[in-house]
Amino acid sequence: MSFQVWMAFMLACWVISVSPGAGAIASMSSGLNYGFRRGYWNAIGLQLALLVQIGIVAAGVGVLFATTPWAFLLVKWFGVGYLLYLAYLQWKAPVQSIEIEQERQATKSIPKLVGYGFLVNMSNPKAIVFLLAVLPQFLDLSKPQWIQYVMMAVTMISIDLIVMAGYTGLAAKVLKLLKSPKQQKYMNRTFAVLFSCAAGLLSLVHQ
């Protein structure tokens, strides 16, 4: 992969990462509820799923999702259901004073936050189909492909970590502005609506 091609790929990664989606919503939700330091573990889960997806595309298994309707639909509707489940949890999230909420942050399981992010990204079949359509365009077929896939994976994950840090940090700052349970309730339900919207958009995705 030449430097010019890598630059074009890097710019594409910035656009993809900054564009709001289920991952960004999950990052903001985690930052809001658990603060930046703990909530950022959600972003680690997102990247682990992205790494698996890139591996699937590199192995050629992504063709299955692009050509087999039942496999695509199975993963798609699992993703829709999971996003709606997250919306339900966010809608029903208890509201309490900021001091109490911050104390609760320390008891939240990090593996659960990582798993939360992993499932959000992994349950989106559009990501695999998108990667299958985009990544090969930047490949130099005259050179070993696995090295190029590693370069693209490192680039994409590094940029996404930076962007998700921004989303998580922004939401964590908002946490300091929430002075009453009523404000927290409105914020929780706002994220519930965003998760529902993300589920609705995912349900409209076709092969």
pLDDT of residue 99: 42
Output the pTM of the full model. Answer: 0.70
pLDDT of residue 177: 65
| Displacement of CA 186 from its chain's centroid (Å) | 23
Q: What is the percent of the chain where pLDDT is above 70?
A: 78
pLDDT of residue 98: 41
pLDDT of residue 86: 76
Find the distance separating the first CA and the last CA of the chain, reported in whole Å.
29
Q: In the predicted model, is pLDDT for residue 14 greater than 80? A: yes
What is the rounded CA–CA span in Å between residue 75 and residue 65?
Answer: 9
Could you count the other beta carbons within 10 Å of the beta carbon of residue 51?
15
Contact 65, 127 (CB under 8 A): no
pLDDT of residue 148: 86
Tens of pLDDT along 128-182?
766 776 777 677 767 887 888 899 899 999 999 999 999 888 887 776 666 567 7
Tens of pLDDT along 73-126?
776 787 678 778 878 877 887 764 444 344 444 456 889 999 989 988 888 766
pLDDT of residue 101: 44
